Structure 1
Amino acid sequence: MDKIALITDSTSDLPEDLIDKYSINVMHYRIIYKNREYIDKINITPDYVYENLHNEIPTSSMPAVDEMENVFDSLEKQGYTHAIVITLSSGLTGFYNGIKLISENHPKIKTCIFDSKLISMGEGILVLECAKLIEKGMNFEYVVNKLPYIKSKIRLFFIVNTLEYLKKGGRIGKVAGTIGQLLNIKPIVAIDNSDGKYYTYDKVRGRKKSIARMVEIANKILDSNKYSIFVVNGAAFDDSKKVFEKIKEHKNIVSAKLCGSISPVAGVHSGPGLVGVVMYEEE
């Protein structure tokens, strides 16, 4: 019988109770300042990142090689025969390639590395749905073959206050910035399924209109089918709550959750003011 381990990274924004419930192995990004380094979600908070952006914008790095090796060593000792790794979009990080190399050092464990081409709870939903299948006793091949289908049912949109941090972190993708900022253009950002990079899904002028437009987009999608929704934020709880309140009563909502802040490392690249809507189409 397959003994399947599930691995993801700290940007999936999964609550600790679900990580514990499904025995999910989480690898942690690093946040690097000039004279200090932190481990994402371990010894740094989102508030710390936002409060110190005016002093220094840190860089980020994928999980340490030692951490990745230690996780696989531990899985081998526990008798795991298979592993499924779901990563942050490869269009935004080198983690996909890094963990692939580490997994090849552990041939005793048959490993699937799946590029979510998502962020935050988009990636998190993929991990959770995978965890449910493993809990039901589905074998490795079945779960792996289901991943593209699960991913196809996830929609994700977000807005930020400024594109400054995405640009400085090299995460701007196909989202045009300079002229738009001068005109106060606020893009609604999504992720391209082909390359896993950000692109402009729509754009309006001004923060208030961008929030309203994102609600319109979500409601239009909801008109077509039943969805569970998750609303996330980065130092923008009040705005995220407004978005949540305007979406949650739609007749096709199966479940709605107002989530907490995105991971500290994601906050490095988004800056304060992120509001995101993640949608999962239910059967």
Structure 2
Amino acid sequence: MDTSRIALVIDSCTDVPPADVERYGMYVVPLQVNYERESFLDKVTITPQQVYDRFSEEIPTTSTPTPAIAREVLQRVVDDGYEQAVIVTISSGLSATCELMRSITVGMPELDCCIVDTKNIGMGAGLVALAVARRLADGATLDDLRRDSERIVESTKVFFCVDTLEYLHKGGRIGNVTYAVGSLLDMRPVITCNEKGVYCTVAKAKGRRQSLKKAMRCAEEAAARYPRCTMAVVNGDAAAEAAEVKHELEQRVHNVDAWYEGQISPVLVVHTGPGLIGIGVCGA
């Protein structure tokens, strides 16, 4: 395929599977995982398992890519002969990565960029990136993507369940009352991103199994809005459970052109802890 006219740049938290990163020649800008004494590049110098292994010692923080690394990746795009690029990032409502990339491109007039704020996280953002990749492979221009990217974003949703609210609470993503009540009653939220790209609860259920059923129902309803769609099931140290969820969905959703699966990034592990199951749907 000839996608050489326009480069595709993503951030590491879009969670595009490595095989698809390679297939479409994507450039990846890594976010950071920060411990008290050292920092790591997401998916480059730290793995999800290493984050899990250190949870008992320290819960790290996360941050956007450094400006130097982001600029280095974009300079590599230019050095590889590109004059145009689509940059796909996780939600500006959850991270400053999108704004960082926007500010850096202002200082690189030699690279004409279309920046796509997915208003999503993890593989929700990844499904947007993959939809863009397919459009580029089909010959879309930068103007086409500027016109179509909002539709792609609006047609994409992710629903996820966590095994504990502890990490969302410590990261400031949920309040004290929600955390206390949810933990006491074992009420599990099904979380998505709203139209502003920030976390919101779309359903609640008592216990793990019921929350997963509600997440699957949400995904099934989202997929039913489109003639055809792509879907993803991702996990945080819960591969066997994710495989069961995917198998159930395959029996119930019959308009799926492609399935994706994998582990969430170390940065997302920090905010969700072990046991996450995420289901993404893209109707573009």
Question: Is TM (by shorter chain) over 0.5?
Answer: yes
TM-score relative to the length of structure 1? 0.92
Identity %: 33
| Aligned counterpart in structure 1 of residue 41 of structure 2, from 33, 39, 42 | 39
Taking only aligned residues, the RMSD between alpha carbons, in angstroms, comes to 2.1
Give the equivalent residue in structure 1 for 2:219. 218
Query: SS at the partner of 2:271?
Result: helix
* 1:1-283 → structure 2 map (5 Å cutoff): 3-172=5-174, 176-193=178-195, 195-225=196-226, 226-250=228-252, 252-255=254-257, 257=259, 259-281=261-283
Is this contact kept in 2: 1:130–1:143, CA < 8 A?
A: yes
The amino acid across from 1:51 in the alignment is D
The amino acid across from 1:108 in the alignment is E
Distance 1:189 1:22 in 2: 30
Query: How far 1:258 moved relative to its partner?
Result: 5.7
Unaligned runs of 5+ residues in structure 2 are none
Is this contact kept in 2: 1:156–1:277, CA < 8 A?
A: yes
1:102-139 deviation per Cα after TM superposition (whole angstroms, max 9, x unaligned): 11110121222221011122111111121222222221
Query: How far 1:238 moved relative to its partner?
Result: 2.2
The amino acid across from 1:280 in the alignment is C
Decide whether aligned partners of structure 1 residues 158 and 173 sit closer, same or farther in structure 2, where only a CA change above 3 A counts: farther
Is this contact kept in 2: 1:222–1:252, CA < 8 A?
A: no
Decide whether aligned partners of structure 1 residues 103 and 55 sit closer, same or farther in structure 2, where only a CA change above 3 A counts: same
The amino acid across from 1:42 in the alignment is V
Is this contact kept in 2: 1:86–1:127, CA < 8 A?
A: yes
Distance 1:184 1:116 in 2: 31
Is this contact kept in 2: 1:175–1:199, CA < 8 A?
A: no
- Structure 1 window deviating more from structure 2 (64-73 vs 154-163): it is 64-73
The amino acid across from 2:70 in the alignment is M
Query: How far 1:210 moved relative to its partner?
Result: 0.8
Decide whether aligned partners of structure 1 residues 144 and 46 sit closer, same or farther in structure 2, where only a CA change above 3 A counts: same
1:206-232 deviation per Cα after TM superposition (whole angstroms, max 9, x unaligned): 112111222233334445544332111
Distance 1:263 1:175 in 2: 28
Distance 2:158 2:174 in 1: 16
Distance 1:224 1:35 in 2: 48
TM-score relative to the length of structure 2? 0.91
Is this contact kept in 1: 2:27–2:73, CA < 8 A?
A: yes
- Structure 1 window deviating more from structure 2 (159-168 vs 255-264): it is 255-264
Query: SS at the partner of 2:124?
Result: helix
1:52-71 deviation per Cα after TM superposition (whole angstroms, max 9, x unaligned): 11210001111121111112
Query: How far 1:149 moved relative to its partner?
Result: 1.1
Is this contact kept in 2: 1:241–1:258, CA < 8 A?
A: no
1:16-35 deviation per Cα after TM superposition (whole angstroms, max 9, x unaligned): 22212222110001111111
Distance 1:247 1:265 in 2: 27
The amino acid across from 2:274 in the alignment is P
Decide whether aligned partners of structure 1 residues 200 and 174 sit closer, same or farther in structure 2, where only a CA change above 3 A counts: farther
Decide whether aligned partners of structure 1 residues 63 and 69 sit closer, same or farther in structure 2, where only a CA change above 3 A counts: same
Is this contact kept in 2: 1:174–1:199, CA < 8 A?
A: no
Decide whether aligned partners of structure 1 residues 174 and 262 sit closer, same or farther in structure 2, where only a CA change above 3 A counts: farther
Query: SS at the partner of 2:16?
Result: coil
- Structure 1 window deviating more from structure 2 (68-77 vs 238-247): it is 68-77
Distance 1:85 1:257 in 2: 23
The amino acid across from 2:202 in the alignment is Y
- How many residues are paired up? 280
Query: How far 1:239 moved relative to its partner?
Result: 1.9
Query: SS at the partner of 2:145?
Result: helix
The amino acid across from 1:254 in the alignment is V
- Structure 1 window deviating more from structure 2 (211-220 vs 184-193): it is 211-220
Distance 2:197 2:122 in 1: 13
